[in-house]
Chains A and B, each alone.
Chain A
Amino acid sequence: MSESGEQNATSVIVEKLRGWNAKAVSEVIEFHGETTVVVPRELLRATAEYCRAELEFNFLSDATSLDRFPVEPRFEVSYHLVSIPKKLKIRLRTKLSGADPTVDSVVPVWPGAGWLEREIFDLMGIRFNGHPDLRRILLPSDWEGHPLRRDYPTEGFRDVPSTYLPAFKKQ
C-alpha cells in the first residue's frame, strides 16, 4: 500500500475511534507516516479492547515506555498495534505523571502484553493494574530502583561513585 493510502486508512481508524468515544482520542500525532493516538489513561483498556474487537488490531507488536524527566507528565507508555487482516499499524499512547505511574494492563486484551509490561514495570517502574503476574523479569527480584528512568545514573551504582571518576581511581 502506498504511503498516502496508508495515511487515509489510518485516519479512517482515528475517525472510527472518535465516533466510538470522543473522549478516547485526546490527541493525534502524525510523524513520518506513523499515527499515534494519545488516550487518557482511564480509557486505555477500553480503547485497546475496541481496537482489537472492532478495528481488527489483533496483533500487539510491541509495548514500550519513555521517561521525559523532569517534564511532567514524565512517563509515556506506547503500544504498537498491527492489524494483520488490514495490514495497518497504529500506536496507542497514554501519559502518566511521576507521582502516580499506574495504568490499566492490556493483558486481558492481548495476552502477549504480559512480559512486555513486566519489562516496563521492571526497568521503568510503571505499575499495571490487573496484570496477572507483575514481577521483575530482567533484574533480580531484590533490585532497588528502575534503571531506565532518566534520574537513574548510567555509571556507578546509586550513591556509590563510578569507577570511571578520577577520585575513585586514586584510592
Chain B
Amino acid sequence: MHSDRLTRTIHSTAFRLAAISTSLFILSYIVVFAITFWVASNALESQRRGAITQEVATMEIRFAHGGLAELEQAIHEENAASSGFPIFALLKKPDGSDFGNVGPLEIKLGWHDYPNAEIASSPSEDKDERILTGFGLRLKDGSTLLVGFDRFNIIETQEAIISAFSWSAFVMLLFAIGVGILIGRRAFSRIDIFNEELHAFAEGQLDRRLAIKGNEDELDELARGVNATLARVEQLMESLRQVSSDIAHDLRTPLSRLRQKLEEASLDVKSPAEFALVLDDARQQIDEILSTFTALLGIAQIEAGVLKKKFAPISLSELCQSVVDAYRASFEDEGRGVSAEIVPNVTILGDRNLIAQMVANLIENVLRHTPTGTPVNISLVTEGPKAVLKVADEGLGIPEHEREKIFRRFYRLDRSRTSPGNGLGLALVHAVANLHSAHIEFGAGDVGLEISIEFPLTAS
C-alpha cells in the first residue's frame, strides 16, 4: 500500500512539476556555482601572484645591492615577517647549497606549480595538497631563486565553496523532493476522496458530492464541474425513477380495471349492441390512459431540460391575456368572477407553448378544485428583476403541510380524489417553472390558494 502510494505520488503531476522545476533550479545553481568558483579562484590567485612578483622585484634589488648575503637576509626577513600569507623562497647558490624555507627541488624558470614541495609551515597535513606555486629566476651570479606561495589556501577556499554549494544543493534537493511528495500526496488524498465519492455515486448513493475546499484551486474547479454533472445526473435519474414508479403505480390500476371489465364483458355480454357499448367504454378508458401517458412523457421531457435551447423572448403579458380569455367563458358559465390584472409588455425568455400550458393548468386547477361560483384572481406584475404571475382563488385552500406536495405527480388531496383530471396538471406547472428557472411561491393569506410563479426577467 505504502510503496504503491509512493509510486503513484512519483507519477503524479504535482510531483513531476516539482521535479522538473527542481532540476531546472539545480542546473542554474550549478552555473552560478561555476562562475563563483572561477571568479573567486582567479581573484585569489592573481592577488597572490601579484604579491610574489613584488617580492621577487624587492629581492632582485637587494641582491643587486648586497649580493647573496643581502638576498639571504631578505629571504630570512620575509620568512619571519610574512604579512597576510606566508611567502616561501628557495635560493640555489652557485656552489650547489640551498637557502630558504622550502625543501630541495628543481627550480624552473617562470611560473610553475611544484607538487609535493616540502613547505615547512604549511597548515595542511595532507602531502598531496602541498603545492607550491612559485616564480623561478636566474640571478646574475648563476644562482637560481624561487619565490612562491602555498596553494593550500586557494584549494581550501575552493573546497569551501564547493562544499557550501553542494550542501545547499543537497538540502534544496531534499526540500524540493519533500515538497513535491507532500503536494502530490495532498492532491492524491483529495483525488482519493473524489474517487470514493464517485464510486459511492456510481453504486447508487446519488446524494454524494465532491468536497470543495474553497481555495479555488484547479481541484476545486474540477469538483464544481463534477458536482454540477452529478446533480444533473441525480435529477435525471430521479425523474426517470419517478416516471417509472408513476407508470407502475398509476397506469397499472386503470389498466387492470379495464382488463377486468373486458373479462366480465366476455362473460356477460349477449347482444352486439351491448358489445358495442362495452367497446366504446373501453376505448374511452384507453384514451384516458394514453393521455395520462402522454402527459407523463411530456413532463419527463420538460424535466430533461433539452427544450431550454429553444427558448425565445415571449410576451408573457399577451400570453397570459390570451389564456385567460380562452377560459373566460368557462368561468362565466360557472358563475365565477374573473379578475385579471395584467401589466403590458412583460417579456421573458422561454417556451411559448409550455408557458401557455402552465397558465392554463393553473387556471384549470382553480376550475376543477374550487366550488362553482368561486372567483379567481389572476395577475401579472413585475417586481424588480422578476415577473410575477399570480393565480389566486377564494376556495378552501390547501393546508400548509400539503402545499409542496401538490406538485408531485398524481398527488391529490383527499377531498379531490373523485374530481376529474389526471393529477398531472400541477406537476407540469412545477416542471415548466423549473425549466424556466422560475420560483413557485404560495400566498400567505388564509383564504383560498394563491400560487405565484416568479420568472426571471430577461435583461434588456
Partners in one complex: no
- Which chain A residues have a beta carbon within 8 Å of chain B's beta carbons? none
